[in-house]
C-alpha cells in the first residue's frame, strides 16, 4: 500500500522506518510521539493478525509512505534491511534520495521533552543520533535517527546494530529519552520470544569469539529468571577476554555477575565485591560499581567506608558510551545509599554531609518527588 506524496515544507525529510507485528494496542501512542518529527514513512509488517495494518493506514495515510508485508524471517537485521532498502528506494523517488530515517519500536514512545532535541540535531545534519531508552531503572543506548546516505546495513539476528559508512559521526544525547512500553508484541509473548532469542544466540557464542552474543545470552537468561545459568554465561563472556572493541560489553557482563551475586552467601558476596572492583577499574567514571561496593560494605558493618564510596559517586555523570546503565545511580539511588550509610555511621558530621549532597543533587523529574522523603530521614 502506498500513500500519494504530498507537498512538504523545506525542513529536512525524515522517514519513519519501522517493523511491526500485532501492535494495534500500542501503535497510536508511538505514532503520536513522533508525529511532529516525520515527513515520510516506510513500515514493514511481519505477520500481523490484528488491526495493525488498518491502524497504520488511518494514522499515517496523510503522509507519503508505504506499507509492506513480509513473512517473519526470525532475524531482526534481515527484517530491518528490508525496511532500509524500501526506504532508500522510496526516498530517492520522493525527496531526491536524501533525508533521515527515524527508528522506533511500536511499543516505545519518545518523551515529549525530547522531540525538540531530536529535531535540532537532525536540522544540524547529525549523521546518527543515539538516545536513552528507559525500562525501569535501566537505560539502554538506542539508535534514534540516521542520515540515509550514511547507512550501510543492519547486522545481528538478535540485538541488531546498524553499520555506517566510514567516518560517520555519531552523537549520543542524554536529553533524548524514550520510554519502553510493556504491552507490545514481544512483551506480551515474553517467554516465547526470550526462548527464541536464547536459541538463536547460543550457537553464535563459539563463532569468532562472539562476546556480543555471549553477553546478550546472559541477559536473556537473566530475564528468564535462570540466575545461575545467567551468571555462568556472563562469566563465559568475561573469559573471552578484554579488547578495545568489547570494553563496555566486558563491563556489562561483569555487572551481570556482580548484581546476581550480591544477594547470595558469603562466597557470592565476596565475588561480587571483586567484580565491582574490576568494573571500577574498567570505567572509573561510572557510579554503579561504587554503589555496589558501598552496599556490600554497609552489609558488613563498615558504614564509614560505605559512606565514602557512595559520596565518591556524586562526582560522576551519566555515561554516554554505555550500552546499558542504571540511570537512577546518577540521581536518586546514590542519594538513598548515602543516606543509609550516613544514618548507620551514627555521627552528625556524616548526616550533615549527606544533607548537603542531597540538597544539591540534580534529580530527574521522575525522581524529584523523592527528595523531600530523603531529607526528612536525615533531618
Could you read off the pLDDT of 29-81 as tens digits, one per residue?
999 999 999 999 999 999 999 999 999 999 999 999 999 999 999 899 999 99
- Over its C-alpha atoms, the chain yields an Rg (Å, rounded) of 23
Range of the domain at 11: 2-185
- DSSP string over 119-131: HHHHHTT-SEEEE
Q: DSSP letter at 150?
A: G
The model carries a pTM of 0.86
Domain boundary among 152, 185, 218: 185
> Which 3 state secondary structure label does DSSP give 146?
strand
Do 176 and 292 share a structural domain?
no
Residue 9 pLDDT exceeds 60? no
Q: What do you get for the CA distance between the two ends of the chain, in Å? A: 64
- 75 phi, psi to nearest 5 deg: -160, 110
Q: What's the pLDDT tens digit per position in 266-319?
A: 999 999 999 999 999 999 999 999 999 999 999 999 999 999 999 999 999 999
Do 261 and 276 share a structural domain?
yes
Domain boundary among 154, 185, 216: 185
Do 246 and 157 share a structural domain?
no
Do 157 and 23 share a structural domain?
yes
Q: What's the pLDDT tens digit per position in 77-119?
A: 999 999 999 999 999 988 776 799 999 999 999 999 999 999 9
The Cα–Cα gap between 348 and 159 comes to 49
Do 131 and 32 share a structural domain?
yes
CATH number of the domain encompassing residue 367 = 1.25.40.10
The Cα–Cα gap between 194 and 221 comes to 8
The Cα–Cα gap between 168 and 146 comes to 10
pLDDT of residue 366: 59
pLDDT of residue 203: 55
> Is residue 185 very low, low, confident or very high in pLDDT (cuts 50, 70, 90)?
low
Q: DSSP letter at 149?
A: G
CATH number of the domain encompassing residue 114 = 3.90.550.10
- DSSP string over 66-89: EEEE----S-HHHHHHHHHHHHHH
Structural domain count of the chain: 2
Question: What beta strand segments (E) does the chain contain?
Answer: 2-3, 14-20, 40-45, 65-69, 100-103, 108-110, 128-135, 138-147, 151-155, 161-164, 170-180, 324-326
pLDDT of residue 4: 42
Do 171 and 242 share a structural domain?
no
Do 226 and 115 share a structural domain?
no
The Cα–Cα gap between 244 and 116 comes to 34
Do 113 and 7 share a structural domain?
yes
Do 178 and 231 share a structural domain?
no
Domain boundary among 156, 185, 214: 185
> Is residue 246 very low, low, confident or very high in pLDDT (cuts 50, 70, 90)?
confident
Burial 301-311 (b: 16+ CB within 10 A, else e): ebbebbbbbbb
Do 313 and 286 share a structural domain?
yes
Do 304 and 260 share a structural domain?
yes
- DSSP string over 11-53: SPPEEEEEEESS-TTTHHHHHHHHTTT-SEEEEEES---SSHH
**All three cell numbers of 205:** 557464542
Residue 7 pLDDT exceeds 60? no
Q: What's the pLDDT tens digit per position in 328-370?
A: 999 889 999 999 999 999 899 999 999 888 888 777 655 667 7
Q: DSSP letter at 242?
A: -
Regarding beta strands 40-45 and 65-69, do their DSSP bridges make them parallel or antiparallel, or are they unpaired?
parallel
CA distances from 195 to 136, 198, 225, 332 (A): 22, 5, 12, 34
Do 35 and 120 share a structural domain?
yes
Cβ atoms within 10 Å of 32's Cβ, excluding its own: 13
Amino acid at each position: 500500500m502506498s500513500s500519494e506524496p504530498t507537498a512538504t515544507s523545506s525542513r529536512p525529510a525524515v522517514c519513519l522506518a519501522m517493523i511491526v507485528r500485532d501492535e494495534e494496542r500500542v501503535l497510536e501512542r508511538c505514532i503520536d510521539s513522533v508525529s511532529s518529527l516525520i515527513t515520510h514513512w516506510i513500515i514493514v509488517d511481519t505477520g500481523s493478525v490484528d488491526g495493525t495494518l488498518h491502524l497504520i493506514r488511518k494514522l499515517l495515510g496523510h503522509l507519503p509512505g508505504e506499507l509492506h508485508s513480509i513473512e517473519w524471517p526470525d532475524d531482526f537485521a534481515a527484517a530491518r534491511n528490508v525496511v532500509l532498502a524500501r526506504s532508500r528506494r522510496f526516498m530517492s523517488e520522493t525527496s531526491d534520495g536524501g533525508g533521515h530515517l527515524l527508528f522506533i519500536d511500536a511499543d516505545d514512545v519518545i518523551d515529549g521533552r525530547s522531540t525538540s532535541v531530536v529535531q535540532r540535531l537532525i536540522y544540524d545534519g547529525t549523521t546518527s543520533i543515539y538516545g536513552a531508552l528507559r525500562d525501569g531503572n535501566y537505560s539502554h543506548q538506542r539508535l534514534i535517527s540516521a542520515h540515509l546516505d550514511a547507512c550501510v546495513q543492519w547486522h545481528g539476528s538478535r540485538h541488531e546494530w546498524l553499520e555506517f559508512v566510514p567516518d560517520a559521526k555519531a552523537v549520543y544525547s542524554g536529553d533524548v529519552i524514550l520510554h519502553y512500553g510493556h504491552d507490545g508484541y514481544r512483551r506480551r509473548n515474553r517467554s516465547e520470544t526470550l526462548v527464541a532469542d536464547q536459541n538463536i544466540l547460543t550457537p553464535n557464542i563459539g563463532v569468532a569469539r562472539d562476546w556480543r552474543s555471549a553477553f546478550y545470552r546472559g541477559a536473556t537468561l537473566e530475564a528468564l529468571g535462570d540466575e545461575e545459568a545467567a551468571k555462568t554465561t556472563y562469566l563465559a563472556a568475561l573469559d573471552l577476554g578484554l579488547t578495545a572493541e568489547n570494553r563496555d560489553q566486558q563491563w556489562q557482563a561483569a555487572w551481570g555477575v556482580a548484581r546476581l551475586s550480591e544477594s547470595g552467601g558469603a562466597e557470592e558476596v565476596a565475588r561480587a565485591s571483586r567484580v565491582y572492583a574490576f568494573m571500577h577499574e574498567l570505567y572509573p567514571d561510572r557510579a554503579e560499581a561504587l554503589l555496589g561496593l558501598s552496599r556490600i560494605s554497609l552489609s558488613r558493618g563498615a558504614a564509614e567506608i560505605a559512606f565514602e564510596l557512595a559520596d565518591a559517586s556524586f562526582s560522576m555523570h551519566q555515561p554516554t558510551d554505555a550500552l546499558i546503565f542504571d540511570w537512577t545511580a546518577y540521581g536518586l539511588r546514590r542519594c538513598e545509599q548515602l543516606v543509609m550509610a550516613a544514618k548507620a555511621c551514627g555521627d552528625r558530621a556524616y548526616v550533615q554531609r549527606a544533607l548537603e549532597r542531597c540538597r544539591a543533587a540534580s534529580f530527574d523529574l521522575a525522581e524529584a518527588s523523592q527528595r523531600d522523603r530523603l531529607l526528612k530521614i536525615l533531618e
